[in-house]
Amino acid sequence: MWEFLSRLFGRENEASKVAAKERLRLVLVHDRTTVSPCLLETLKEELLDVISKYMEIDQAGFEVNIEQGDDSMALVANIPIKEMKRALSRTKN
Amino acid sequence: MPGKALVITSGKGGVGKTTTTANLGLGLALRGHKVALVDADTGLRNLDVVMGLENRIVYDLVDVIEGNCRLAQALIRDKRTRNLVLLPTAQSKEKDAVKPEQMKELVKQLKDEFDYILIDSPAGIEHGFRNAVAGADEAIIVTTPEVAAVRDADRIIGLLEASGLYDPSLIINRVRPDMVRRGDMMDIDDIIEILAIPLLGVVPDDEGIIISTNRGEPVVLNGRCRSGEAFNNIVRRLEGEEVPFLDMRGDGLLEKLKRLVGLR
């Protein structure tokens, strides 16, 4: 009955355009952040350079990925540390 | 001054690229410009049928590229205006019978003789698409108010940029004013907001366009039809004129009455 009434007053109709727009927005968030493996590899190398200044990393276990949630994207890095560096002098100049 | 080459593309199939190419080409030609239409959909030739010129084909684009004939021999003159020619593509060859470099050279030759070269791109983003955009100076993206079509249009914007074609313009095809009014179809503002490229035109979905395509006569010839009017407006915008967009919220009762008694 409620469904009939809401259809009568156009609420369900209203939803179809809104749903289309919302779904489109979501799918484009994912599409537009699609990163090529090549770019990801470059990012990984540069991250490695920066982090290596501060600590020693287990390079074999170093992973960088883009993870997709339902409505969000995240850059997730797993960086196993072997040892912290005591002297940070190299970074200062 | 060399002519301007425009590629008409979409990503998704079935949104009306070929119909758009035919109508804009004939519209421009009827307004006095010299126009060449190029069908870049090798293997799935369509533009000839939409133009009603399918019985006149002798040579095609692949013949020109393979050197079987001269370019001028493959150009089919339109039966309605001497300003318009069609370069059909091959039906029995594969898409990779043509290379982007060859396409570029061919379009360059056409630009010496014509004011506008409209290139009808195949659906997809592979070889045929790369051929179609190779010689183009500007791009027109055709979409419909559907999630899948707009998504593909967004992807095409990125791929065009990668090919050096910035600032494409957008034609939104098959808009149904009654559905937009009910809130059951994304409207123009929604789509423009999402794609963020300039709007070139809005074409309503009407029966006139189907009837005229059945006959092989582009709807732009029919001034009484809303879609024909829409294509004519786009043609004038391509010439640089500022033309207001058709109201897509649909006709009120008064408008319908006026149309009925022939006041517009």
Say whether B194 and A16 touch across the interface (CB within 8 A). Answer: no
Percent of chain A whose pLDDT exceeds 70:
72
Task: Write down the pLDDT at residue B18.
Answer: 97
Average pLDDT, rounded, for chain A: 78
As given in the structure block, the two tokens for residue B211 are: 């009837």
The alpha-carbon gap from B243 to the nearest alpha carbon of chain A, in Å, equals 27
Question: Which residues in chain B are closer than 8 Å to A25, comparing Cβ atoms?
Answer: 194
- Give how far B8 is from chain A: nearest CA, Å: 22
Which of B172, B185, B186 is the best residue to mutate to test the A interface, defined by the most A CB atoms within 10 Å of its own CB? B186
A92 has a pLDDT exceeding 50: no
Q: What is the pLDDT of residue B242?
A: 96
Residue B137 is encoded by which pair of tokens? 């100076």
Q: Distance between CA B78 and CA A68 in Å, rounded?
A: 52
- Which two tokens mark A32? 């537009």
Residue A64: exposure state from Cβ atoms within 10 A (0-12, 13-18, ≥19): middle
Chain B residues inside the 8 Å CB shell of A31: 151, 154-155
Could you tell me which CATH number the domain at B4-260 has? Answer: 3.40.50.300
A14 contacts chain B (CB < 8 A)? yes
A20 touches chain B (CB under 8 A): yes
Q: Which of A17, A23, A28 sits opposite B183 (nearest CB)?
A: A17
How many Cα atoms occupy the beta-carbon half-sphere of B49 within 13 Å? 7
In chain A, what residues touch B148 (CB-CB under 8 Å)?
none
The pLDDT profile of chain B, 264 residues, written as one tens digit per residue, is: 899 999 999 999 999 999 999 999 999 999 999 999 999 999 999 999 999 999 999 999 999 999 999 999 999 999 999 999 999 999 988 778 899 999 999 999 999 999 999 999 999 999 999 999 999 999 999 999 999 999 999 999 999 998 999 999 999 999 999 999 999 999 999 999 999 999 999 999 999 999 999 999 999 998 889 999 999 999 999 999 999 998 876 555 556 666 666 655
A36 touches chain B (CB under 8 A): no
The residues that bridge with B201 in the sheet, in sequence order, are B171
In eight-state DSSP terms, residue B166 is: -
* Alpha carbon distance B77, B37 (integer Å): 10
Give the start-to-end residue ranges of the domains of chain A: 1-32, 35-85
Whole-angstrom distance, CA of residue B153 vs CA of residue A31: 12
Instruction: Sort out which chain A residues have CB atoms less than 8 A from B182's CB and list them.
Output: 10, 13
The pair of three-digit structure tokens given for residue B45, joined into one six-digit string: 């030739």
DSSP letters spanning A20-79: HHHHHHHHHHHHHT---HHHHHHHHHHHHHHHHTTEEE-GGG-EEEEEE-SS-EEEEEE-
Dihedral sign computed on CA atoms, order B64, B66, B67, B69: negative
Tokens of B23: 């109508």
Smallest CA-to-CA distance from B35 within B134, B117, B126 is with: B117
Is there a contact between B186 and A32 if contact means CB atoms under 8 Å apart? no
Cβ pair B171, B200 in contact under 8 A: yes
Q: In the numeric block, which tokens belong to residue B191? A: 């789509």
pLDDT tens digits along A63-75: 888 887 766 778 8
- Alpha-carbon gap, residue B25 to B19, rounded angstroms: 10
End-to-end Cα spacing for chain A: 74
Residues in chain B closer than 8 A to A32 (CB atoms): 154, 158
The yes-or-no verdict on residue A87 having pLDDT over 80 is no
A7 touches chain B (CB under 8 A): no
Contact status, residue B4 vs residue B51, Cβ threshold 8 Å:
no
Q: Where are the beta strands (DSSP E) in chain B?
A: 4-9, 35-39, 76-77, 84-87, 116-120, 138-143, 169-175, 199-204
Q: How far apart are CA B120 and CA B133, in angstroms?
A: 9
pLDDT at B257: 63
